[in-house]
Structure 1
Amino acid sequence: MRGTPLTERLRSSSPEAASAPDGASGESALRRLNRWRRPPFDNPELWCLRLRADDLDEKSLLALLGEPADALARRLGQPAWAARLQHAMAGPPYADGDGTNDVLLPEVDGHSPYLARAAWPLLDDARGRLRAVLERLAGEATPAPFRPGELLEQVYAPLPWVVQGMLSRTLALELHLAGMRGELPDGTSEERFAAFLDALSKPSRQWTLLRDYPVLARQLATAVDQWLVNSRVLAERIVSDAEAIRNRFASGSEIGCVAEVVTGVGDRHRGGQAVAKVRWESGLVLVYKPRSLRVDEHFADLLEWLNAAGLRLPMRTLTHLDCGGHGWVEFVRAEPCADEAAVRRFYHRQGVLLALLELLRANDSHAENLIAAGDQPVLVDVETVLQPVLPPGDARSTEAERAAEEAAAASVLQVGLLPATAWPTRDGKAVDLSGLGYRPGQRTSVGLPVLTGVGTDRMRVRLERMPLNMPDNRPVAKDAELNLLDYTDDLIAGYTELHVLCRAHKDRLAADDGPLAAFGDDHVRVLLRSTMTYGTLLRTGFHPDVLRDGLDRDRHFDFLWRQVTDTPALGACVPAERADLWRNDIPYFSSRPGRTTLFDSDDRPVPGIELGSALERVRQDLAGRDDEHLDGQLRLIRGSLATVAINATDDLEFPEYPLPDQGDRVPAADLLVAAQKVGDQLAREAFRRKGSAQWLGLGSQAGRNWSLGPLRPDVFNGLSGVALFLATLGAMTGERRHTDLARDTVATVRAQLDRGLITVPAGMAGLPGVVYAFCRLSALLDDGSLVDEAEAIAASLLGTAEHDTRYDMVGGSAGTIAALRALHAVRPEGPAATVIAEAAHRLVESAERHPLGAGWVPAWMREDGLANVPLAGFGHGTAGIAFALAEAAALLGERRYAAMCHEALGYERGLFDPEIGDWRDVRTLAADRTGICAWCHGAVGVGLGRLAIRTGPLADDPEVDAEIAASIATTRRAGFGRSHSLCHGDFGSLDLLLTASSVLCRPDLRDEAARRTAGILGSMKTNGWMCGVPFGLSTPSLMVGLSGIGYGLLRAADPGGVPSVLTLQAGKPLISSVGVVGR
């Protein structure tokens, strides 16, 4: 009885359930209640909401937690699933206790689901019952629509594997315990496993297992029952729909018996229902879908309407047979394009499809839903078109964030076709599942449970990043090379064509009798959370810790409440989500495009949620389409495509351009005017509401997994960096509009930090970078509270360095040291020194020794095959780490940090190539290259690091001056004309000259920097601002975007008053030698 979930236990109002437990059971119940009250339920308001969702109070929950099993059994009686188990175990050959080893377990690739033996009575009983149904159905129809025996084996094949997945964690634990208890016989590891497996075939052992894990027993019975019901329903529909199928798909011709059925395609919803593929003897192949296909039919009708309206390249439509609650659709075979012209037609049509899906407010158009059928991209699942307007999201978001999110949700970004990273983790792993961006060779970003050591007594469940199957979304062979960026123009041409066509026919499209109106009462699926979230909860819901009592599993599923604090409307959906998870389903919600009601998987309205009509919003969007909308969407498309280049390799190519002849020195006032133009452009692009600001732009997760969307709070590519530029601009010009926008930006940063939107605990791109920005902004905005907040963030970093595997400036301990210096300068008694010491210790203990010294390889680079040995350079390499160790040594007086800095310098010096005057790029992708001359990699960053070291405890190193000279010479020769960015562009190179002129007391370098600045300013007049991303696209950020370009102009105008952000200089009160401009 302990296998029953909370909702089933609440169906009785017996006094026993309401009485408080006492004694040992009372103490146990109180411990379990306190465990349930852990975060997020340490929030009293959320805890009350959660209790009210089940009409509970704390006292009644405590009573349920302490209710004895016998009392529970008396109160509820025997549940149906338990009766099913008893029935299955009571039949021969199980009733006599002998069991059987004659278990039918289908093999896949030479492997068999051995562990399913533990549930064999259930499997055998269900097979027998389905066999009887199939024989009856085949006997009643003339001619027979299928051969019962063949169909039985085909639909049965996936079931033991499903059952093994449910059993694996528990049986791995039981095998381990059996070994510890001495229950396995002597012999080899394989023999001991065989004995364990043999025991699983005995009814006595099966009963013991199911009694010890009653939740597992319930879920196994549920899964097998669902398989039986859904298999029977599929067979019945094959029979009942036979004539309609022949007429619709075969022009009335005979199609013969069913030859093959593949079940369980995709996720399971609504009682274990899933898509199936059916092939008849005639060769006809159809896809069976256990839902209404009205929305699919209306989508096909709309495509036909657009074809007739004048599309240059007609779009393929699919043939459907809607049978009410289910239907059949033609199977789309993937075929590569015959030639390059066909590939270009394919991507033109992809652009058309993107524009249409954006108009229809579609999402979830991921790679598995897209088939490349020659030059036709075919969307094979359109159930997520016409998404309703959901209630407001994160209640703690600023008004500007909501505005930006609404704009993104109504844009091409929401469709799911454009490249975008998904499942990001703290260590920077992510995947791209999009219809356009999915690439070969990807693995899941999170570990999935995998059985290892199967066949031995060392069998365990281990989490591994598993290879992802390559779908059929690309118009070339699966192993063929394809560069999506080569087809940017085709994609944009297709998008533009449909945009213009819809504008020309918007009145006809939106009319009451137009093609859009037909969707009004269709069933569309609504995605409230990611399938990954649900799938992870289901998988971890079969951990043995939550299989002994249904209330423990309910507590596990209450993870769903974590997001309710941010998105209150989700609270009304949790009961329906939990009910679906208890049915082993991915939760399912739906709506009707012309209505405002949300429905659960049983088609019942979800109380407390009112949606915005999708159809009404589509009509509004269609009416508002203009050239400005088109330009904005094309920018988003290009920006999204740029992330393909950034994420696919660490070897980026950027637009190059000749710098104009170096002219005379540009007056500082002119540089400030140029910087103000950047600030004004940022203001135009901002979403600004009620004292907050936000932008859409290119962002990353600790410098990796770039995607296009609302900016995050980091300084590297996020809002803190934008605020730092704007605040500096306001301080130097006296223009309040820039300062006010900086304050509004900080307001959004604060809100995002409150929500934990950045969790990376190391590096310039993580929380330490925000500490640096807040310390700088505190002085610029005259806001002392920012230092308090920086100190609180620093305190949260204590103890985190020991987990760092990145090490570098961008995302690792080196960046932590550099960033925390700013806080230590103003709060030396606070946590900054300890955080710096922990980060430096991590670098010392994790260094790899090499013949010439020591270095570090970020774990992600090694895992992704980008580097096997430590790199040179500042952003990701040894120069930045050596610099950080030197700073830690100077700050804390620790000789071992200085000694490790010397070792790092020794290693990096071994990479210097005097023939090219630069440090060799030893990334695996750069075997035949000299690399780039930039801050992140190459001479610019090395030079900046050595200049900082020269002023510290290692100033007497005789080789540093020679390295500085080499870096300056290489930067002069190869460091300009790549982009205007700080990270790998002109202003990063200029920063080296400005820093060197100050540290080395070299006025000639200051003069050269002035002339270089004139050339950069001239290139801006010719080419515009060129950000450090592929195609020179515009993005607001500091290191690669507009804010960095503006900051570079300010530093060029007043290098003595504007600190270098490339080495995270702490700075000082801004006393500009320039004067105030533009008051």
Structure 2
Amino acid sequence: MVLRLITTPPPDPVATVVDDAVRRVRCAAHRLPRGELVHPAAITAAVDRFAQDAEDLLGRTVAQEFHLFRTERDAPADPASTTALAAFDAHLRAGGVDQLWRTYPVAARRLDRLAADRLDQLTTILTVLAVDAPRLHALGLLPPGPLTAIDIAHGDPHDGGRRVATLTVDDAASPSLVVKPRSADPDDLLGRIVALLDADTAGDHLRLPRCMAASTGDLSWHEFVSATTLPDDADAAARFHRRAGRMLAVFTALGSTDGHAENVVAAGDHPVPVDVETLLHPATENPATADPLTCALADGPLGTTMLPTGSPSSSMAALSRAGTRTPGGADAHRHVHRGTDAWTVAAVPATVTATAHRPTAPGTSVPVPLTDHVDDVVTGFHTAVRDLARRRDEIHRLLDDARATTCRRVVRPTAVYTAFLDAARHPRYLTDAAEAERLFRLLPESATGTAAVTEAEIAALLRGDVPRFADRVDAPPPVGPTPLARAHRCLDTLIRTPPAALEHLVRSALAGVDTPSRSAPARTAATDLQAALQDPDPRSGLARIERRLAARTVRQGGAGPALGTLDALPGASPDADPVLTAGDRTLYHGGGTALLGAALARIRPTPARRRRLADAAAAVTRHAEDQVLDLREGVPAETGRAWCPFTGALGTVWLLRELAGSGDRAVGARTRDAADRLLTTVLDTAVGPDRLDVVGGLAGGVVVLTEFGLADHPAVRSAADRLAAALHGGEIRERGLAHGVDGLAWALARVDGHAHRARLVDLPDDATAGDSWRRGAAGSSWCRGAAGLALCHTEIALAAGDTPAAVAAAATVPEPLETDDSLCHGETGVVAILRRLALLLAPVAPDAAADLDEQADRRARELQDRIRRAGYATGHPGHVGVTTFMTGVAGIAFGRVLTESRSSVTDAVDLPDPIALRPSRVAREG
């Protein structure tokens, strides 16, 4: 006798709850007319997918009800038992499901709507397929054989739950056909433009998926493109990346906005775009509220989303590394111990795994490193731009002929909608429709939308849909030009932009793309700014940089010549139309470049410099007056960062005080008055800031206010108590001066009576501790690196009277680890810290101070030599080279003067030290 062990699957309460809806959909689906082409298995697959979606909708609610059921019966959460789970499942089958629907009526309605929408879409697909099958067979889009799977599960639900579906023939390993609930017009337009460009190209032709308009206007059929390995030849990877560069240029020329990793498939040596519904798109930024730099970047290569613009660990760009990302900002909900008495649902950071966009070599599964082929991307990009220039008039005509094309308009990132919809699955929002509506009304009006658009978004979310807006490309959007007009503009702008500038932008975005945690900026050479930085006399170089920044801003018609600029395309010649420049009033960005003018007015005053400084002072004063009004009216964006010394109101106070000591008396009086009024407003309206760190919030504000002699002010004392509580309560775990726990301790050490609290942070009091301490640093920089830690702990030790610990801390500045030259992230900031450490230690440890000065001399020479040989490296998000203060060329020029020789010379010039947040003597005494 053979005994068979029969195992019974554990009860599944979620399946029990949705069982009635699944049975209804199954019965209705199998009664639909399907013809001989569609095998019953295809209908079964569609129903199975519906069952999964239904369980996803209700899983959290059923899990919560099980938790209540188990708790009421004092049953333990035992992962080795199913007793309580079986009892709960029996309870549901005995009338508990009906009780659940009475408790969660919104859930019942959403499940019914999901079932109706899914049946409606399945009916449409079967009906249209019956009509279009002969044409699909003739075009080779639909292979012979029975249809064995229909999977309505791709993309987001729009317009009544309609989603992208795939069709599989004869149980093939991958689908054969994709059906999309939209027109094929964008694909047809792209096909015509690519065919025009390919006619001029001997090789590297682009591949697009074949497609066909369905017999109904709101559906289209598309070839399913599978990821395949590269051909087995030496040039295959290079061809792939040249084609990727060509695609980047085409998308840039058309103003396309959706070239992310999930919309591109690496099919052999072709990067194939599989979703171009936003091929033509209105402006993604509102020119009335966004700064000109942001608007210009959005109209260039970065706006295509093919290039990474953030950390490689989160970037979803088509030209980014393969692997798992954590985009941030949303949670995913995972069932834990499902099928046991310990079943619960846990929130974990949402991750996205993207691999199909990167090519792999034959016989391997390892993606080809993108950093090995940046030159190929640039080559393909330049080639396509030249082709676009030759065919410019024809492309303009193709665009005009396509004015009836319908494209999607993305009002805000789709991830925002999915986060709201995920939140709406919480049981709280499934009990009362009014609760769900209150949740969705937290959605703010988007920068490119209107109140009516927001109402339409909320209505779609209430239906369980991701809002989708589509219109003809010649239809005016709520903000900015039509998509058609923007495409014409993007094409012309791309063609007239200097090739060197475009290349810098692409290389900067791709620099360090295969590094999991941190990008590296590209170097910029052969520009007027590099020539100025090479000047043997740092003060002369500072003057040249200041003149060039002023000229760029005047040419752009910006917010004032001495406010500085963000010049994201430094390859543009001085006489060319500057493509990407913008004024910015914050100390960290463009406003800090006014310090160049202030320094020059003290070092070598001239009438022209004084005029520019007066302009800057007037502009910053106007900005301060706006901030006073905003703070008094409680504008959240201003009150949340009022204490910030770099991008908030205290940074403006810093600037005004520095400018007041550098101009004529009348200008100085007005500027000083504006600084005093703004400072008083900050202290009178003191509220808990959004952030506690040095760069963004309270700690930086405490440092600045103590420098201005306000350590005993009640608001500063209260802020110090808040920092102490955060420091010792473990609220901040990150290390570093700018954003970490060390910066909080550094701020506390500046306030009399709080040095003992700051000392509770470990100091590098011996070699072992020092090594451990440095391992908390991210690189060698001022902001997150070891140099910033050294400055923090040297000052903390000196405040506590511990000279040996101060000397030990100062000795931990490492040799260069960065490829950036800026004050914030790079070597200029490290040299400035070495000078500051020497100044701090000179009275108590002169030998150590002399060693630090010698290090600073050597590293300043090495930095200057590197800039001379290879160009300068700066960066802001996306590592676009900039001319701003803390992250750009202006800061490098200022830092050269700040650190040009030993500290006594710097004191003679009387410059502020932004690295140590120390204002100049003029500003402190004023």
Distance apart, 1:533 and its partner CA = 1.3
Residue 257 of structure 2 corresponds to 363
TM-score of the superposition, structure 2-length normalised? 0.81
Per-residue displacement from partner, 1:94-124 (whole Å, max 9, x unpaired)? xxxxxxxxxxxxx9xx999741422322221
Does the C-alpha gap of structure 1 residues 442 and 697 become closer, same or farther in structure 2, counting only changes over 3 Å?
A: farther
Residue 1055 of structure 1 corresponds to 906
**Are 1:288 and 2:288 counterparts?**
no
- Specify the SS of the correspondent of 2:53: helix
- Specify the SS of the correspondent of 2:272: strand
User: Does the aligned pair in 1 maintain the 2:149–2:171 contact within 8 Å?
Assistant: no
User: Does the aligned pair in 1 maintain the 2:85–2:339 contact within 8 Å?
Assistant: yes
Does the C-alpha gap of structure 1 residues 712 and 451 become closer, same or farther in structure 2, counting only changes over 3 Å?
A: farther
Distance apart, 1:359 and its partner CA = 1.0
Alignment partner of 1:737 out of 609, 612, 621? 612
User: Does the aligned pair in 2 maintain the 1:655–1:979 contact within 8 Å?
Assistant: no
Residue 556 of structure 1 corresponds to 439
Per-residue displacement from partner, 1:60-79 (whole Å, max 9, x unpaired)? xxxxxxxxxxxxxxxxxxxx
Distance apart, 1:153 and its partner CA = 1.4
Counterpart residue identity of residue 897, structure 1: R
Residue 663 of structure 1 corresponds to none
Alignment partner of 1:414 out of 274, 298, 303? 303
User: Does the aligned pair in 2 maintain the 1:531–1:586 contact within 8 Å?
Assistant: yes
Does the C-alpha gap of structure 1 residues 727 and 589 become closer, same or farther in structure 2, counting only changes over 3 Å?
A: farther
* Contiguous gaps of at least 5 residues in structure 1: 1-106, 139-143, 423-428, 599-608, 658-665, 700-707, 848-855, 859-870, 914-918, 926-930, 1073-1079
User: Does the aligned pair in 2 maintain the 1:145–1:238 contact within 8 Å?
Assistant: no
Per-residue displacement from partner, 1:29-55 (whole Å, max 9, x unpaired)? xxxxxxxxxxxxxxxxxxxxxxxxxxx
Alignment partner of 1:375 out of 256, 265, 269? 269
Counterpart residue identity of residue 1062, structure 1: I
User: Does the aligned pair in 2 maintain the 1:778–1:784 contact within 8 Å?
Assistant: no
- Specify the SS of the correspondent of 2:497: helix
Distance apart, 1:694 and its partner CA = 7.9
Does the C-alpha gap of structure 1 residues 654 and 269 become closer, same or farther in structure 2, counting only changes over 3 Å?
A: closer
Residue 637 of structure 1 corresponds to 506
Instruction: Give the Cα separation in 2 of the matches to 1:920 and 1:1020.
Output: 31
**Are 1:231 and 2:231 counterparts?**
no
**Are 1:900 and 2:760 counterparts?**
yes
Residue 588 of structure 1 corresponds to 468
Instruction: Give the Cα separation in 2 of the matches to 1:843 and 1:516.
Output: 59
Residue 320 of structure 2 corresponds to 437
Residue 546 of structure 2 corresponds to 679
Comparing 223-232 with 121-130, greater Cα deviation is found at 121-130
Alignment partner of 1:1064 out of 904, 917, 920? 917
Counterpart residue identity of residue 50, structure 2: L
Distance apart, 1:685 and its partner CA = 5.0
Alignment partner of 2:768 out of 896, 910, 918? 910
Please show how residues 104-119 of structure 1 align to structure 2 within 5 Å. 114-119=13-18
Distance apart, 1:267 and its partner CA = 0.9
Distance apart, 1:248 and its partner CA = 1.2
Does the C-alpha gap of structure 1 residues 1026 and 580 become closer, same or farther in structure 2, counting only changes over 3 Å?
A: closer
Instruction: Give the Cα separation in 2 of the matches to 1:326 and 1:502.
Output: 31
- Specify the SS of the correspondent of 2:804: coil
Instruction: Give the Cα separation in 2 of the matches to 1:503 and 1:626.
Output: 6
User: Does the aligned pair in 2 maintain the 1:762–1:815 contact within 8 Å?
Assistant: no
Give the paired residue count.
857
Instruction: Give the Cα separation in 1 of the matches to 2:621 and 2:98.
Output: 61
Please show how residues 781-930 of structure 1 align to structure 2 within 5 Å. 781=659, 782-786=671-675, 789=678, 818-822=703-707, 825-826=709-710, 828-846=712-730, 858=734, 880=742, 885=745, 888-889=748-749, 891-894=751-754, 896-897=756-757, 899-900=759-760, 903-906=762-765, 909-912=767-770, 921-922=774-775
Residue 199 of structure 1 corresponds to 91
Counterpart residue identity of residue 831, structure 1: A
Distance apart, 1:504 and its partner CA = 1.6
- Specify the SS of the correspondent of 1:325: coil
User: Does the aligned pair in 2 maintain the 1:889–1:898 contact within 8 Å?
Assistant: yes
**Are 1:648 and 2:513 counterparts?**
no
Counterpart residue identity of residue 227, structure 2: A
Instruction: Give the Cα separation in 2 of the matches to 1:936 and 1:208.
Output: 57
Comparing 411-420 with 335-344, greater Cα deviation is found at 335-344
Comparing 370-379 with 257-266, greater Cα deviation is found at 257-266
Per-residue displacement from partner, 1:1025-1069 (whole Å, max 9, x unpaired)? 443799997323434421321221332465111232222224431
User: Does the aligned pair in 2 maintain the 1:840–1:888 contact within 8 Å?
Assistant: yes
Instruction: Give the Cα separation in 2 of the matches to 1:1006 and 1:193.
Output: 68
Counterpart residue identity of residue 124, structure 2: V
**Are 1:222 and 2:113 counterparts?**
yes
Counterpart residue identity of residue 821, structure 1: T
- Specify the SS of the correspondent of 1:576: helix
Residue 3 of structure 2 corresponds to none
TM-score of the superposition, structure 1-length normalised? 0.70
Distance apart, 1:888 and its partner CA = 2.3
Does the C-alpha gap of structure 1 residues 895 and 578 become closer, same or farther in structure 2, counting only changes over 3 Å?
A: closer
Does the C-alpha gap of structure 1 residues 407 and 924 become closer, same or farther in structure 2, counting only changes over 3 Å?
A: closer
Counterpart residue identity of residue 614, structure 1: P
Please show how residues 159-198 of structure 1 align to structure 2 within 5 Å. 159-182=50-73, 190-198=82-90
Residue 218 of structure 2 corresponds to 325
Does the C-alpha gap of structure 1 residues 920 and 556 become closer, same or farther in structure 2, counting only changes over 3 Å?
A: closer
Distance apart, 1:228 and its partner CA = 1.0
Instruction: Give the Cα separation in 1 of the matches to 2:649 and 2:211.
Output: 58
- Specify the SS of the correspondent of 1:776: helix
Per-residue displacement from partner, 1:769-813 (whole Å, max 9, x unpaired)? 645523321312324444554566678885569x97xx7x66798
User: Does the aligned pair in 2 maintain the 1:711–1:719 contact within 8 Å?
Assistant: yes
Alignment partner of 1:779 out of 638, 652, 657? 657
Residue 543 of structure 1 corresponds to 426
User: Does the aligned pair in 1 maintain the 2:564–2:591 contact within 8 Å?
Assistant: no
User: Does the aligned pair in 2 maintain the 1:768–1:794 contact within 8 Å?
Assistant: no
Counterpart residue identity of residue 376, structure 1: H
Per-residue displacement from partner, 1:109-144 (whole Å, max 9, x unpaired)? x999741422322221121111111xx433xxxxx1
Does the C-alpha gap of structure 1 residues 620 and 876 become closer, same or farther in structure 2, counting only changes over 3 Å?
A: closer
Distance apart, 1:434 and its partner CA = 1.3
Instruction: Give the Cα separation in 1 of the matches to 2:836 and 2:749.
Output: 25
Does the C-alpha gap of structure 1 residues 521 and 1031 become closer, same or farther in structure 2, counting only changes over 3 Å?
A: closer
Distance apart, 1:363 and its partner CA = 0.6
Per-residue displacement from partner, 1:441-497 (whole Å, max 9, x unpaired)? 323412223333433455433321133222410012795254323322111111111
Quote the RMSD (CA, aligned, Å): 4.4
Counterpart residue identity of residue 19, structure 2: W
**Are 1:957 and 2:815 counterparts?**
no
Distance apart, 1:936 and its partner CA = 5.3
Distance apart, 1:904 and its partner CA = 2.4
Distance apart, 1:339 and its partner CA = 5.2
User: Does the aligned pair in 1 maintain the 2:243–2:377 contact within 8 Å?
Assistant: yes
Residue 379 of structure 2 corresponds to 493
Does the C-alpha gap of structure 1 residues 113 and 189 become closer, same or farther in structure 2, counting only changes over 3 Å?
A: closer
Comparing 1024-1033 with 359-368, greater Cα deviation is found at 1024-1033
Instruction: Give the Cα separation in 2 of the matches to 1:1068 and 1:792.
Output: 24
User: Does the aligned pair in 1 maintain the 2:43–2:150 contact within 8 Å?
Assistant: no
User: Does the aligned pair in 1 maintain the 2:148–2:169 contact within 8 Å?
Assistant: yes
Distance apart, 1:675 and its partner CA = 1.0
Instruction: Give the Cα separation in 1 of the matches to 2:138 and 2:549.
Output: 60
User: Does the aligned pair in 1 maintain the 2:164–2:180 contact within 8 Å?
Assistant: yes
Counterpart residue identity of residue 960, structure 1: A
Instruction: Give the Cα separation in 1 of the matches to 2:852 and 2:333.
Output: 59
User: Does the aligned pair in 2 maintain the 1:729–1:739 contact within 8 Å?
Assistant: no
User: Does the aligned pair in 1 maintain the 2:568–2:882 contact within 8 Å?
Assistant: yes
* Contiguous gaps of at least 5 residues in structure 2: 1-7, 526-533, 570-579, 660-670
**Are 1:132 and 2:132 counterparts?**
no
Residue 459 of structure 2 corresponds to 579
Per-residue displacement from partner, 1:157-182 (whole Å, max 9, x unpaired)? 12122112221332233233334555
Per-residue displacement from partner, 1:611-662 (whole Å, max 9, x unpaired)? 63322333344345545354433332222223636x73359698799xxxxx
